[in-house]
Structures are given as C-alpha cells and as structure tokens.
C-alpha cells in the first residue's frame, strides 16, 4: 500500500481560495510529500527544526487539472508558473488548466 494512497488520507487542512486548492503538508496525512519537502528545505540551508517550522506555516496552492478517462490531478502553482506541465497519465503537454 502506498503511504499517500487515497484510502489512507483525510485532508482536514484543505480549503479553496481564488479557484485554487490550498492545503498544508503534515507527517500524518502526507508523509511522503512532507519528508520530501523537509529534505528540500534542509538542502536549501535550513536546519531540521527551521524546516519543520516552515512546513507548519506553509500553504501550498494547487491548480487542478482533469484528464479525460483518467481523472483529476493537481500541480503546485509555483511549478505551473516556472515550467512546462505534462499530463502524468498520458504525457501530453498541457497549455491551460481545467478548473
């Protein structure tokens, strides 16, 4: 079973803001994403304690996309602004979000 599988998750910190899904990472509900973000922040020069405190206050904004015959997926808004987005199911280049 995947640690971040749908059966394992509840998102008490999810909200909608200006058309974006907003949530916070935490050790219990998103352990893989939390650990990856922690390692990323430490790699950027923060101490483990500083990184953990940053994650507690960080709000992640996601753009929602829909892939016909496959379903929804979300992409961090910062990634959308900074790079090219491909559909993870088909590999197709995406030009505009479908909200």
What average pLDDT does this structure show over 73-93? 89
The region, left, alpha or beta by phi > 0 then psi within -120 to 50, assigned to residue 18 is left
Domain ranges within the chain, ordered by starting residue? 16-24+60-99, 25-58
Bigger pLDDT: 85 vs 47: 47
Six-digit token string for 66: 């829909």
More confident residue, 39 or 5: 39
Task: Say if residue 25 is exposed, middle or buried (CB neighbours under 10 Å; 0-12, 13-18, 19+).
Answer: buried
Give the confidence band of 1 by pLDDT, cuts at 50, 70, 90. Answer: very low
Q: Pairing between strand 93-94 and 60-67?
A: unpaired
Question: pLDDT, tens digit, for every residue of 43-76?
Answer: 999 999 999 999 999 999 999 999 999 999 999 9
- For residue 45, give Cα distances in angstroms to 3, 8, 40: 27, 32, 9
pLDDT at 82: 82
Gyration radius of the chain over CA positions: 15
């Amino acid at each position: 079973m995947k640690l971040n599988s749908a059966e394992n998750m509840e998102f008490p910190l999810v909200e909608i803001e200006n058309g974006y899904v907003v949530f916070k990472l935490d050790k219990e509900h998103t352990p893989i994403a939390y650990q990856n973000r922690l390692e990323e922040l430490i790699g950027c020069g923060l101490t483990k304690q500083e990184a953990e405190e940053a994650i507690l206050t960080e709000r992640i904004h996601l753009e929602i996309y829909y892939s016909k015959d496959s379903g929804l997926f979300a992409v961090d808004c910062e990634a959308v602004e900074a790079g090219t987005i491909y559909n993870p199911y088909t590999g197709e280049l995406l030009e505009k979000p479908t909200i």
